Amino acid sequence: MIPLQQVWPDDLAAHYREKGYWRGETFSDLLRNCAADQSDRLAVVGEDARWTYAELLERAETAAAGFLALGLKPGDRVVVQLPNLAEFLSVVFGLFRAQLIPVYALPAHRLTEIVHFARKSEAAAYVIADRREGFDYRALARQVQAEVPAVRDVVVVGEAEEFVAFDSFRADLSLLPTTDADPSKVAFLQISGGSTGLSKLIPRTHDDYLYSVRDSAVISGLSADSVYLTALPAAHNFPMSSPGYLGAICVGATVVMAPSPSPDVCFPLIAREGVTITGLVPPLALLWMQAAANTAHDISSLEVLLVGGAKFLPEAARRVRRELNCTLQQVFGMAEGLVNYTRLDDPEHLIVETQGRPISPDDEVRIVDDQDVPVAEGEIGNLLTRGPYTIRAYHNDDAANARSFTDDGFYRTGDVVRRTPEGYLVVMGRATDHINRAGEKISAEEVEDHLLAHPAVFDAAVVSTPDDYLGERTCAFIIPNGPAPRGVEIKAWMRKRDIAEFKVPDQIVFVEDFAITAVGKISRRELRAALRQRLLGAA
């Protein structure tokens, strides 16, 4: 198995420890300490669950023992694809306790993505729910096992059929490791949005991630009396850590798992559970504001709404206080590390017009031109960063690492930003070719690759186009091989490729050629930029 690692230079690692950022705490310590301090407090609320911290700990330990009883060994990777159930937490804390490595997949992912994660991470097991929203994950698991036999065990939350039922796990605590995981080692693999090809795997250590979570909890004003609503898919980095349900667990607060982020589902939960804080992507924030105008539910317990994942425009941001009667906290983060927040007591103009400033005084931010030369203060440039919780490398991907990191270890975020005199970042756009569709990052190259597999497609270029609701949507320019098929046929065919639905192009435009007259080589990036211009011109 290829070892998982995330290595910072010795002097910086020593500095991060000395500063108290890296405390030598593991995910298991986190839950254990919380359960010791707050054992009778309500930890998690799910569809049919209300567990105290003591119960969550007990369930996590049972889960850990169950995973090990299957024959999994500490260090093995386990793809986790679960909706927002209370069991999401007992599964992942169980994996942490067993020193197994969760690989976080989204419920929207399908065969193509899961096979990629399983292969790339060398996963030995796969945890799913039985069925959700009309989709049967057990059927998917059968296909995954057929393609990747190394995924030996499938564990199902719900009706297991021929697989292992999560509910059947029994506590044989003698199986649990007697020594703790090494907090400086990789705890889990997060998935990158990715701008080139398939998603990359992001190794995060206990030390680095828990630092960002602990300080996020402070920045978002969480206390043991807070109630955090997990509205976005729990596998996303944002609801996981900014400050997310992990931030809530850090301070002994209550986590409510919402099965869907829609106001219909979330407003009654807010009213019933007294939710004080949650996080949304911009399109959902718009939807919530609209729904709040004539809801019968009392959502007045909501104190803080985090919005991030994509740019929240100032006009919309300005409406939050009035329409939802709570404080807006903008968050600009990434699964690779750096997270910026507006602070709760910031003046209105910073909250509305900026995407915040970094968590840590030791987050190093560089804003540079295309030659990596720093731009003048206040000018627009590419954002590079390194720091105590930003990765130095992706897992097992030399080509991506060469592209994504500078020689001195800065991560190239791909975002184009400027810094205000107060030191706050404003996201102006991005340099890389991904489409940010309602916070879901879609790689143009990955979608093009799928399109090129269609027999009637000669060439394809995928670009983003502005959308009032989604922020951006995808448009595929296609040069057909002969008579053009209909756009709906291409879309239907894409759906059959077993990819996440959000990657199917929203719009398809057939063209005879890309009308690029430049002599010689033109990069796909320049091509996409030219096509995007053409689309905007036509609008």
Residues that bind ligand J2J (CB under 6 A): 193, 237-238, 241-242, 308-311, 330-335, 339, 355, 413, 415, 427, 430, 436, 439, 441
Please give the single-letter amino acid code of residue 227.
V
Compute the least distance from the CB of residue 18 to ligand J2J, in Å: 25
Compute the least distance from the CB of residue 441 to ligand J2J, in Å: 5
Compute the least distance from the CB of residue 307 to ligand J2J, in Å: 7
Tell the residue number behind the tokens 């922020």, with chain if given: 471
The angle subtended at Cα 177 by Cα 174 and Cα 179, nearest 5°, is: 130
Q: What is the dihedral of CA 40, 43, 44, 49, to 10 degrees?
A: -10
Residue nearest to ligand J2J (CB): 333
Residues 6+ apart with CB under 8 A from 390: 336, 337, 338, 363, 411
Compute the least distance from the CB of residue 466 to ligand J2J, in Å: 14
Do the Cβ atoms of 28 and 93 come closer than 8 Å? yes
Which of helix, strand or coil describes residue 30? Answer: helix
Compute the least distance from the CB of residue 308 to ligand J2J, in Å: 4
Please give the single-letter amino acid code of residue 21.
Y
Q: What is the DSSP string of 482-526?
A: SS---HHHHHHHHHTT---GGGS-SEEEE-S------SS---HHH
Using H for helix, E for strand and C for coil, what is the string for 414-463?
EEEEEECCCCCEEEEEECCCEEEECCEEEEHHHHHHHHHCCCCEEEEEEE
Compute the least distance from the CB of residue 34 to ligand J2J, in Å: 21
Which of helix, strand or coil describes residue 406? Answer: coil
Residue closer to ligand J2J (CB basis): 202 or 508 = 202
Alpha-carbon gap, residue 224 to 213, rounded angstroms? 15
Residue closer to ligand J2J (CB basis): 34 or 331 = 331
Per residue in 281-291, is it b (16+ CB within 10 Å) or e — as a string?
Answer: bbbbbbebbeb
Compute the least distance from the CB of residue 526 to ligand J2J, in Å: 20
Residue closer to ligand J2J (CB basis): 116 or 138 = 116
Residue closer to ligand J2J (CB basis): 21 or 53 = 21
Compute the least distance from the CB of residue 430 to ligand J2J, in Å: 5
- Return the bridge partners of 445, or none: none
Alpha-carbon gap, residue 441 to 195, rounded angstroms? 8
Residue closer to ligand J2J (CB basis): 309 or 409 = 309
Residue closer to ligand J2J (CB basis): 311 or 528 = 311
Alpha-carbon gap, residue 443 to 193, rounded angstroms? 7
- Return the bridge partners of 306, or none: 279, 329
Residue closer to ligand J2J (CB basis): 258 or 339 = 339
Compute the least distance from the CB of residue 329 to ligand J2J, in Å: 10
Residue closer to ligand J2J (CB basis): 99 or 340 = 340
Compute the least distance from the CB of residue 322 to ligand J2J, in Å: 21
For the record, the structure tokens of 139 come out as 């059927």
Do the Cβ atoms of 375 and 369 come closer than 8 Å? yes
Alpha-carbon gap, residue 194 to 446, rounded angstroms? 9
For the record, the structure tokens of 260 come out as 């869907």
Residue closer to ligand J2J (CB basis): 238 or 267 = 238
Compute the least distance from the CB of residue 131 to ligand J2J, in Å: 26
Residue closer to ligand J2J (CB basis): 225 or 501 = 501
Compute the least distance from the CB of residue 301 to ligand J2J, in Å: 23
**Residue 100, CB-side half-sphere exposure with 13 Å CA sphere:** 34
Alpha-carbon gap, residue 487 to 48, rounded angstroms? 43
Alpha-carbon gap, residue 49 to 167, rounded angstroms? 13
Compute the least distance from the CB of residue 330 to ligand J2J, in Å: 6
Alpha-carbon gap, residue 436 to 459, rounded angstroms? 23
Residue closer to ligand J2J (CB basis): 83 or 193 = 193
Residue closer to ligand J2J (CB basis): 148 or 334 = 334
Do the Cβ atoms of 309 and 281 come closer than 8 Å? yes
Tell the residue number behind the tokens 């007990």, with chain if given: 58
Residue closer to ligand J2J (CB basis): 97 or 311 = 311
